[in-house]
């Protein structure tokens, strides 16, 4: 025969319930905190890219249609051009397969000899296989000097 009465040993007291609940909440919070820090360790946040202005030349040394090559902060070739008084800087690396583009002052455009890609004076791809414009650098003219903003190494 079964008894309808429960024994005192099987019955949970109020104190036992709150003790178990507190331990469970503490365990869940601890595991959650460990998971957050573990994910931060395994998947670190993005580093903020820092830029620095480098002196590239003087406005007087860059007449209309002229160009001046320089190395960016990562050691890649870049070019500074003066197109009707507008000074711009671009990467010399073609966006198609990484060949080196040439500035053609008479045509006022960049030309990639590898696959006959053409870019206008604003770096926009206008003919050939290049899928996107040339990478552009921020240019600042201050006191007649030309500064280009490049990634800090």
* pLDDT of res. 9: 57
* pLDDT of res. 72: 85
* pLDDT of res. 8: 53
* pLDDT of res. 5: 55
CA distances from 68 to 60, 64, 80, 84, 88 (A): 12, 12, 5, 15, 11
For the chain, give every domain's residue range: 7-45, 51-151
Superfamily of domain 51-151: Rieske [2Fe-2S] iron-sulphur domain (2.102.10.10)
Q: What residues in the chain have per-residue pLDDT under 70?
A: 1-10
* pLDDT of res. 105: 87
* pLDDT of res. 11: 80
């Amino acid at each position: 025969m079964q008894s309808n009465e429960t024994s005192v040993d099987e019955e949970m007291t109020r104190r036992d319930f709150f003790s178990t609940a507190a331990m469970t909440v503490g365990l869940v919070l601890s595991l959650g905190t460990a998971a957050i820090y573990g994910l931060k360790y395994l998947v670190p946040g993005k580093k903020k890219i820092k830029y620095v202005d480098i002196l590239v030349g003087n406005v007087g040394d860059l007449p209309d249609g002229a160009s001046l090559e320089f190395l960016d902060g990562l050691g890649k070739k870049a070019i500074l051009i003066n197109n009707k008084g507008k000074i711009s800087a671009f990467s010399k690396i073609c966006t198609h397969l990484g060949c080196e583009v040439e500035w053609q002052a008479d045509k006022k455009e960049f030309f990639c000899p590898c696959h006959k890609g053409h870019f206008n004076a604003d770096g926009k791809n206008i003919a050939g296989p290049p899928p996107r414009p040339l990478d552009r650098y921020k240019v600042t003219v201050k006191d007649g000097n030309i500064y280009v903003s490049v990634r800090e190494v």
